[in-house]
Amino acid sequence: MTPIVHNRVLLALCLVGALAALYGEFLNSAPNRLAGSVALPLWQAPLLEAAAAMAGLGALTVLAFAAQVKLRSYATLLVAVLVLWASLSGAGHFATLLSSASPPAARYSLGATFWTLVAVALLAMLDAVQRMKLALALRVGLVAALCFGFVLMAQAGRFADLSLAKEFSSHRAIFFSELGRHLALVGAAIFFALCMGVPLTALVLRKAKACGVVFASLGIVQTIPSIALFGVLIAPLSALSRDLPFLRDLGVGGTGPAPAIIALTLYSLLPLVRSFYTGLAEVAEDVKDAAIGMGFGARNLFFAVELPLGLPALLSGLRVATIQAIGLAAVAALIGAGGLGAFVFQGVGEYALDLVLVGAIPIILLALAADFIFQMLIASARRRI
């Protein structure tokens, strides 16, 4: 009797994890920040965690053959958490052990095996959660529990000897100010985009002729590469700030946040306006007819009827615009606007890849968090209709 595989995704993930564990490097050790590194595979890591990781992978492989969905999914979640813990704790523990026996300049960075195991564990959890159709509240709870566990381990100093943590702590002060600057860039861009986008949508709805022109121009802006748009704004803005001193006092200059915010606003307009327009266009004709018949004027109609009904579409556009802006703001660091992208470019320049991660990981987490928050908002707006 050949055993039937009931969850091929899980099996595929385990295969990838096993290959990574056998052939990849768990940690990379280098004598200092600039020198080349030596690969350290999983089985050289501390026994407890390495064994736990391997056993976890084995257990997941076996679970792939289990038929009962609910039971298998719960078991997968537990084992995946074990693998996650083993990878995180193992990496930190390994680094701590190694650094106690070597000079302080030595660097231990996370290798491909580590990232693969973490990805495999998280994806296995995602797959299990989807198959057992876990309730939203429980999903949120799971994510919260994982984050909490991570924070606990970090507070306990588990990760202190990893080069990523060292890079982070050495840039700690600037990190939070750059994070703030990044959020400010995105926030300002979205705010201005809303201020311009909502009236623009109203205009396009009322005048069909404007439709073609508006969407065509916004579309053209969208295709222009971000750095090109940033670059093109520098010269005129620096000329302007030279000639109009009050702008210079406001902080508007050729480089810095001004060109970044202008460009990000322009980029955010298209997804916003398009989404809002489509949403409003779909607002039932009969609802609008009834309102007009009852005596709603144009302005009233917009604010009391169309806007609330078009809210999910507006939020959907905001979601796309925000995630896009979070990613684009990373490039803004090149023109002196700061933000998390500064770490990425600095890391590229210094060939310090951990610094790149210090910039990149928060950007990804911000984007995922924004995605999640907006999806909650959209769902609640939909429920109220």
Contact positions vs other proteins (CB under 8 A): 7-9, 12, 123, 126-127, 130, 205-209, 211-212, 215, 219-220, 222-229, 231-232, 234-235, 238, 254, 277-278, 281, 292, 297-298, 301, 323, 326-327, 330-331, 334-335, 341, 344-345, 347-348, 351, 353, 356-357, 359-360, 363-364, 367-368, 371
Q: Where are the alpha helices (DSSP H) in the chain?
A: 8-23, 47-63, 69-100, 112-131, 136-155, 163-170, 172-206, 208-223, 226-243, 245-250, 257-282, 285-294, 298-300, 307-309, 311-328, 341-350, 353-383
Q: How far is the CB of 4 from other proteins (least distance, A)?
A: 13
Q: Closest separation between CB of residue 144 and other proteins, Å? A: 19
Whether the CB-CB separation of 236 and 255 falls below 8 Å is answered with no
Nearer to other proteins, 157 or 212 (CB): 212
**Token pair in block for residue 202:** 């109203």
Q: Between residues 207 and 382, which has the closer beta carbon with respect to other proteins?
A: 207
Distance (Å, whole) CA 278 – CA 276: 6
C-alpha–C-alpha distance, residues 324 and 367, integer Å? 8
Minimum CB distance to other proteins, residue 244 (Å)? 18
Least distance between other proteins and beta carbon 280 (Å)? 8
Nearest to other proteins of 156, 220 (CB atom)? 220
CA geometry: angle at 94 spanning 90 and 98, to 5°?
Answer: 175
- Closest CB to other proteins among residues 153, 281: 281
* Closer to other proteins by Cβ: residue 50 or 128: 128
27-30, strands of its sheet edge to edge: 38-40, 27-30, 107-110
Q: How far is the CB of 275 from other proteins (least distance, A)?
A: 11
